[in-house]
């Protein structure tokens, strides 16, 4: 399955200390974007978009990619989120302290997965034009004159 990678999806996978640190970032600390009250959100969204497109570009060498922008396969979501965290935390003030040795090792592992995507089977996306909840219908031939004649049903 392929899902949209955005800041809301990222936040569902963050730890409590990470969420607290994000909530405590002051807009004034973001000198280049101090006019934007949603600067933290914009940085998170940009990180999600950039990382999603990087992984999607690499996935094109392995499988078909979902036509919808920023959709990524759930099989790789944990590694993609590691890249998003690293990308966002290196851009936000006072967040680099959360990139401890464990997070560094996770990032190195995610890079290994990224480099070796050809070794994995990634489920191609479903056709986004098709509603997965719609019943599957088979084609039937149309009715013929024979279907309406009484002798057809008599035997």
Q: Is 25 a member of any domain?
A: yes
Taking only the tens place, the pLDDT of each residue in 76-115 is 999 999 999 999 999 888 888 888 899 999 999 999 999 9
Q: Is 22 a member of any domain?
A: yes
- Structural contact between residues 43 and 88, judged by C-beta atoms closer than 8 angstroms: yes
Assigned token pair, 98: 């959360």
Q: Is 146 a member of any domain?
A: no
Stretch (H or E) spanning 57: helix 39-59
Domain count, the chain: 1
Q: Is 12 a member of any domain?
A: yes
Taking only the tens place, the pLDDT of each residue in 14-29 is 999 999 988 888 766 5
Q: Is 46 a member of any domain?
A: yes
Q: Is 35 a member of any domain?
A: yes
Q: Pick the closest to residue 56 from 65, 45, 67, 47 (CA basis).
A: 65
pTM check: above 0.85: no
The whole domain housing 122 covers 2-129
Q: Is 88 a member of any domain?
A: yes
């Amino acid at each position: 399955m392929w899902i949209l990678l955005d800041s809301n999806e990222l936040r569902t996978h963050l730890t409590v200390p990470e969420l607290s640190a994000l909530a405590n970032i002051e807009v004034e600390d973001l000198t280049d974007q101090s006019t934007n009250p949603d600067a933290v959100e914009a940085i998170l969204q940009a990180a999600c978009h950039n990382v999603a497109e990087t992984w999607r570009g690499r996935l094109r060498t392995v499988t078909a990619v979902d036509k919808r922008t920023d959709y990524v396969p759930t099989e790789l979501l944990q590694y993609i989120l590691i890249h998003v965290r690293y990308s966002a935390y290196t851009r936000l003030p006072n967040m680099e302290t959360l990139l401890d040795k464990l997070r560094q090792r996770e990032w190195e592992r995610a890079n290994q997965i990224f480099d070796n995507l050809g070794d994995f089977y990634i489920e191609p996306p479903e056709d986004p034009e098709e509603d997965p909840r719609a019943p599957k219908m088979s084609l039937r031939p149309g009715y013929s004159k024979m279907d309406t004649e009484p002798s057809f049903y008599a035997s």
